[in-house]
Amino acid sequence: MKKTIIKNLIQSTLVCASVGGLLIACSDGSSSSGPQAKQLANGEACNAAWNAATAYNGGGAVSYSGRNYTAAFWTQNQSPATNSGAAGSGQPWTSGFTCVGGTPTPTPAPTPTPTPTPTPTPTPAPTPTPTCANWATGTNYPLGTVVKYVANGNYYKEVNAGTNGSDGTDPTVSTWYWSVSTCGSTPTPTPTPTPTPTPTPTPTPTPTCANWATGTNYPLGTVVKYVANGNYYKEVNAGTNGSDGTDPTVSTWYWSVSTCSGTPTPTPTPSGFVVTEAQFNQMFPQKVAFYTYSGLLTAMTYYPAFATTGTDTIRKQEAAAFFANVAQESDSLKAVREYNTANYNSYCSSGACGGKQYYGRGPIQLSWDYNYSSAGSAMGVDLLNNPDLVATDAAISWRTGLWYWMTGTGNAGTTPHNAMINSQGFGVTINAINGGLECNGKQPAEVQSRVNYYTSFTQILGVPTGSNLSC
C-alpha cells in the first residue's frame, strides 16, 4: 500500500523493497532525531498548534494545550491529547515537554476512533454423526464441518477456510468455501447443483427502466438504472433471493453494465478515459486476472476528475503516472496480496485488531488498520471489518488505489492528481506515495524504476514525459 504511512512498527523490523519482483510493505524509516522532533526542556517555545484537518507525517511537530508533540508516523484527525504515548507505544503522537507562547490549540469536536467489531466466537464444529447440524446464517464454521441446508435438504462440507473459518458464507452461494457432501463428511463424487429458484418473470424491457433501490432483491434478468452514475445494469446471475440486495457497481457477478433494453454494453468505458483496454494490456502484459480493466472503469466512476482534467496531454500524463506508481507497488499488477506472508500480522497500530489482518493488498498495497478504516469510510465500504474485499473485489481494489491518488499527500504536500494536472512533474507523485523511503537519495534504484515505468507508459500513450521526473 502506500508505504508513506507505514511508519512506526516497521521502523525497527521491516524494510521496504521490491527488488527482484519481491514486494513487502513499506515504512517511512524516517528518524525522530531531526529538527522537528528536537526536544529542549519544559518551558520551550510552542510548535504550531495541532489542526484536525491537517495530515502529519512522521516527525511532524505540533503543540496542544501547552505541550509539544511529535508525530510517530502518518496521522490525521487523531488528537495528541488522547492518542499519545512514549516512543514505540504504537500511538501516533509522542509527548514532549511543556511549552509557552504560540497560538492556543483549538478544542475540536472529538472524533471517536472506530472500534473494530469483535469477531464472533465460532460455534464449535459438531462431531460428524449420522445427523448433522443445520446450517445457521452468519455462523463461522471451522474447516471440515458438515452442515445440512434445510431449504433444499442437501449436506455441505466446508472445504476451504477464510479469516474466520467459513466467514458466514451461504453453502448454496459459495462453492469455494463449501462442497456438496453427505452427513458422513464424504464429499459426493458428482456434486448436484443446487436448483436455481424459479425467477420471477422478467418484466418486458421498456425504454424506461426502474431506478435501483437499496436492499431490493430483483429477479434474474431485471434491468435497473443506477442513479448515482446514470448507468444501466442487468442482473445476469441470481442468488438465494434473486439479486440478494447487491449493489450493481460493486458486484460484477450479479450485475453487468447494460442498456435499458437489456442489451449488454460491450465496454463500459467512462466518457473521456484516455487509455484503451488494448493499451492497458500492453502496459501490463503479465498482470493477474484479478486486475480487470472493467473493474478499473467501475472504480473510475467514483472519481470523475481522474485523467479527465486539463488538456489531452495532461490527461494522458496523469494516467501514465498513476499506472507507473501502481506498477512499482504491485509488481506490474502481479501482486494482489503482499508477497511476504511473515508480515501479515504486523499492521495493527492499536495492538488489538480482533484477528483481522491489514497487510498490503490491491494496486497500491493498502496496509495498516487505520488506512483500511479511512479508505472504507471514504468509499462507504466497511473495509475495517472486511479487509479482504480489497483482494477479492476488483472494483473495490481499484477504488483504494484511486482513493489515495486523489486524496493522499504523503511528503509532497499535494495529491498525485493535483501534481500532474498542475504540471509539477512525475517526481512529485513519487514523493506523495513513498517519498519518505525513496526520495532525496534514499533509494535511487526504486525511484528510477518508477521513472522507467512512467517513460514507457507515456510512449505507449504518445505524449512527452514533461520535466521534474525524479524526487
Catalytic residue numbers? Answer: 329
CB atoms within 10 A of CB 277: 14
CA distances, 362 to each of 24, 214, 230, 291, 296 (Å) = 13, 27, 27, 9, 12
C-alpha span between 44 and 59 (Å, rounded):
18
3-class state of residue 49 by DSSP: strand
Report DSSP letters for 316-334, one per residue.
HHHHHHHHHHHHHHTTTTT
Q: Find where cell 528518524 sits.
A: 31
Return phi, psi of residue 49, to 5°: -65, 140
Given a contact cutoff of 8 angstroms between Cβ atoms, the answer to whether 268 and 231 are in contact is yes
Nearest residue to 386 (alpha-carbon basis) of 404, 400, 406? 400
Nearest residue to 422 (alpha-carbon basis) of 365, 467, 455, 370? 467
Return phi, psi of residue 320, to 5°: -65, -40
C-alpha span between 308 and 306 (Å, rounded):
5
C-alpha span between 256 and 237 (Å, rounded):
9
